[in-house]
A and B are shown apart, each in its own frame.
Chain A
């Protein structure tokens, strides 16, 4: 049996108990009529409260997939279903965090106003909105920066603000596009743990997370399940359960044999795909 098939045989996804919150079926995207497809026949589910990581080499369409999931671009074929309804425009219940935090925060607003922005039109009094923003900023570990402008903050802090802005409206689904790729390694570890805290719903109910990353170790550290995409065209070549108990820590989890096993498995899947190309 090929290594790829062997790898896939070893880990089968456990049957989902509840209906999936996000259902992707046969999703394809082609940017030009006669060009190659960016994504082809992608099918997977995301369960409620699940933290799904999506990994793959560059050019495998991870960002395209995320934009399709958010409804920012229409698919060429297939569908994305959220709670059973097809996603045609960005749903209110979704929130998106970008890799380039400096270009996603509104530079003309200070931190507090940036974080408050999603709450406009929610019928809340101004004082209430400010209070909520402060609360969320505290959740992500930021204090006393409300009046500052984004450019004054470090990269890690800016990304925290972006995450705070994403969380303030209590989204059901949080999507992140390589959010820690432009952050230094030490801060990255802190932010990864922040994401785990958010996911565990310490402050409020559990949020479903789709986390795109090129860092396989990060994916295994964070996720319940890792979706592996192959390149050119992008399609699912693996769906691997992580199965490591929570809570997880940078030190013990990352050196555990289980961690290494899953991580190696993913590397194998990718390598096998490369070999068969």
Chain B
């Protein structure tokens, strides 16, 4: 009995604290009347008005489109290179210094060069997004391949598995849990890259919207843009976890729940 009370009670406590925090914010904002801290209610009101508009939603759609394109390219390159480096010691040693350097490079650093080469449009933005999320995926793929057990490797050798077949039928599925964890991180990083590229680039988007509100000094609108972004990030993460659970049901069973956050 106590256990089930606790189970229901726990998330309720979290929600209660959250609502309490909102109430405190509301009271403080109303009493202070600062233009930079609008009360929660006015943010919600603005959100209610702005979020369903076509302008806003088109912007969101554009951001998501670029994220998807950048994700596809970045993840593809990351997984591909990760598999190659994981299966061949020679390839790994050859690419290692370059990868280590690029991996530590913040995505913003390639923006000006990308602008000079590709302009301010979608091409530049997608490139920046792809670069931003490629390396975590690569690193996780590589780690996943190297974590494949020696017994599996020996079995593959005994079962006459050739080099190419080994990559696709042994390393890829074996590294999948690690790859998927990397992809999940990549989604969050991708969102960051979306915002960065939209700050400097042209064309519609959520990041651009937020930047615009700063110049327009429309503070509630800025808040609701940021809020939407946070919500988007949360929802994408949750969707990813659900998909992960389904694809990796075999893995969760064998090692138990709670694989990484």
Contacts and interface: CB of A to CB of B under 8 A. Distances in A.
A–B in direct contact per CB < 8 Å: yes
B157 A90 contact: yes
Interface in B163-209: 170, 173-174, 176
Interface in A102-137: 102-104, 106-109, 117-118
B154 interface: yes
A53 to B, nearest CB: 21
Contact of A151 (B149, B154, B176, B254): B254
Contacts of A109: 173
Contact of B151 (A98, A117, A118, A150): A98
Nearest to A70: B158
The 8 closest A-B pairs by CB, nearest first: A151-B254, A104-B151, A103-B149, A108-B173, A103-B151, A90-B158, A98-B151, A96-B158
A96 B253 contact: no
Interface in A69-90: 70, 72, 89-90
A96 B159 CA distance: 9
Contacts of B20: none
Contacts of B154: 67, 70, 72, 96, 98, 104
Contacts of B254: 102, 107, 149-151
Interface string B133-176: 00000000000000001111011011110000000001001101
A69 B253 CA distance: 35
Interface string B108-151: 00000000000000000000000000000000000000000111
Interface of A is mostly: mixed
B157 to A, nearest CB: 5
Interface of B: 149-152, 154-155, 157-160, 170, 173-174, 176, 250-251, 253-254
Given A100-B151, A106-B152, A151 B253 contact: yes
A108 B158 contact: no
Contacts of B176: 108
Interface of B is mostly: helix
15 contacts: A72-B158, A90-B158, A90-B160, A95-B158, A96-B154, A98-B155, A103-B150, A107-B250, A108-B173, A108-B176, A117-B159, A118-B159, A149-B250, A149-B254, A152-B253
Contact of B149 (A89, A92, A104, A152): A104
A94 interface: yes
A100 B157 CA distance: 17
Contacts of B158: 70, 72, 90, 94-96
In this complex, the member of A94, A96, A104, A108 whose beta carbon has the largest number of chain B beta carbons within 10 angstroms is A108
In this complex, the member of B157, B159, B254 whose beta carbon has the largest number of chain A beta carbons within 10 angstroms is B159
Contacts of B149: 100, 103-104
Nearest to A102: B254
Contacts of A94: 158
A152 B250 CA distance: 10
Nearest to B151: A104
Interface string A150-175: 11100000000000000000000000
B170 to A, nearest CB: 8
Nearest to A106: B152
